[in-house]
Amino acid sequence: MFIFEYHQHLIWLLIIPGLIILYFISQHYIMQQRVNLGDENLLTRLIKGEAIHRKHIKNGLIFAALLSLILASANPQWGNKKEKVIAKSSDVFIALDISQSMMAEDISPNRLERSKRLAQNLIRALKGNRLGLIYFAGNAYLQMPLSNDYSAAQLFVSSANTGQASTQGTAISEAITLATRAFEEGKANQRAMIILTDGESHDDEAVEAAANAVEIGLNIYTIGVGTTEGAFVPYRTQSGEQYKRDDQGNPVTSILNQDMIRDLAKAGNGKSYLIGEGNAIITDIKKEIDLLEKEEVEQRAFTDYNSYFQYLIAAGLLLLIAQYLIPDRKKML
Instruction: Report the CATH number at residue 178.
Output: 3.40.50.410
- How much of the chain, in percent, has pLDDT values that exceed 90? 53
Residue type, 270: G
Give residue 217's pLDDT: 87
List the domain range (segments joined by +) for residue 25.
Answer: 2-79+304-325
Residue 29 clears pLDDT 90, i.e. is over it: no
Q: Looking at the structure, tell me whether residues 135 and 263 fall in a common domain.
A: yes
33-42, 157-166, 277-286, 322-331: which is most confident = 277-286
Q: Does residue 320 belong to any structural domain of this protein?
A: yes
Q: Does residue 332 belong to any structural domain of this protein?
A: no
Give residue 333's pLDDT: 46
Q: Looking at the structure, tell me whether residues 104 and 145 fall in a common domain.
A: yes
Residue type, 9: H
Confidence category of residue 170, pLDDT binned at 50, 70, 90: confident
Q: Looking at the structure, tell me whether residues 58 and 106 fall in a common domain.
A: no
Give residue 251's pLDDT: 86
Give residue 86's pLDDT: 57
Q: Looking at the structure, tell me whether residues 271 and 126 fall in a common domain.
A: yes
Q: Looking at the structure, tell me whether residues 30 and 145 fall in a common domain.
A: no
Q: Does residue 246 belong to any structural domain of this protein?
A: yes
Q: Are strands 272-274 and 218-224 parallel, antiparallel or unpaired?
A: parallel
Buried b (16+ CB within 10 A) or exposed e, 96-112: bbbbbbbbbebbeebbb
d(CA 50, CA 32) in angstroms, rounded, equals 17
Give residue 329's pLDDT: 63
Average pLDDT for 99-121: 95
Residue 235 clears pLDDT 80, i.e. is over it: no
Q: Looking at the structure, tell me whether residues 170 and 101 fall in a common domain.
A: yes
Buried b (16+ CB within 10 A) or exposed e, 148-184: bebeebeebbeebebeebeeebbbbbbbbbbbbeebe
d(CA 179, CA 220) in angstroms, rounded, equals 11
Confidence category of residue 208, pLDDT binned at 50, 70, 90: very high
Look at 172 and 2; give whichever has higher pLDDT.
172
Q: Looking at the structure, tell me whether residues 28 and 127 fall in a common domain.
A: no
Q: Looking at the structure, tell me whether residues 114 and 218 fall in a common domain.
A: yes
Q: Does residue 73 belong to any structural domain of this protein?
A: yes
Q: Does residue 150 belong to any structural domain of this protein?
A: yes
Average pLDDT for 99-105: 93
Confidence category of residue 9, pLDDT binned at 50, 70, 90: confident
Confidence category of residue 49, pLDDT binned at 50, 70, 90: very low
Q: Does residue 299 belong to any structural domain of this protein?
A: no
What pLDDT, in 10s, does the model give residues 63-74? 999 999 999 999
Look at 185 and 69; give whichever has higher pLDDT.
69
When mean pLDDT is compared across 53-67, 218-232, 273-287, the lowest value belongs to 53-67
Contacts of 259 by beta carbon, 8 Å cutoff, 6+ apart? 199
Q: Looking at the structure, tell me whether residues 139 and 266 fall in a common domain.
A: yes
Q: Are strands 295-307 and 231-232 parallel, antiparallel or unpaired?
A: unpaired
Domain count, the chain: 2
Q: Does residue 85 belong to any structural domain of this protein?
A: no
Q: Does residue 84 belong to any structural domain of this protein?
A: no
Q: Looking at the structure, tell me whether residues 128 and 52 fall in a common domain.
A: no
Give residue 3's pLDDT: 79
Give residue 110's pLDDT: 95
Q: Looking at the structure, tell me whether residues 191 and 265 fall in a common domain.
A: yes
Q: Looking at the structure, tell me whether residues 126 and 269 fall in a common domain.
A: yes
